[in-house]
Amino acid sequence: MAQATQCLKALGHPIRLGILCALKNGECNVQQLETMLGTSQSNISQHLNQMKHRDILVSRREGNQVFYQVRDVRMFELLNLLQTIYCGDDDA
């Protein structure tokens, strides 16, 4: 239960939810996320570190860039469920 609580805390910010949405299409580096989310590199990095610390994301280094991806793809099922509950269903 503690792990679930930490996960939900990690998702409790619009930037972190945005990161998760951006990673649905595959891994991204900080610069790509900065462009997609329209916020600063330092802000993105801070949120990425929180998500890594809570084991939501993993990273890999390629040269001087770090690429991030979701550790467990079931996280996208949770995201889809949250969108259905809180954002409504367009067909309804």
| Distance from C-alpha of 45 to C-alpha of 91, rounded to nearest angstrom | 36
The pLDDT of residue 1 is 81
- The pLDDT of residue 82: 84
pLDDT at site 87: 84
CA 14 to chain centroid, in Å, comes to: 10
Q: Is the pLDDT of residue 19 over 70?
A: yes
**What pLDDT does residue 60 have?**
97
**pLDDT for the residue numbered 90:** 55
Reply yes or no on whether the pLDDT at 69 is more than 80.
yes
Q: Kindly state the average pLDDT of the residues 38-60.
A: 95
Look at the domain 2-87 and name its fold. Answer: Arc Repressor Mutant, subunit A (1.10.10)
Domain definitions of the chain by residue range: 2-87
Residue 58 pLDDT > 90: yes
Tell me what pLDDT residue 45 has: 96
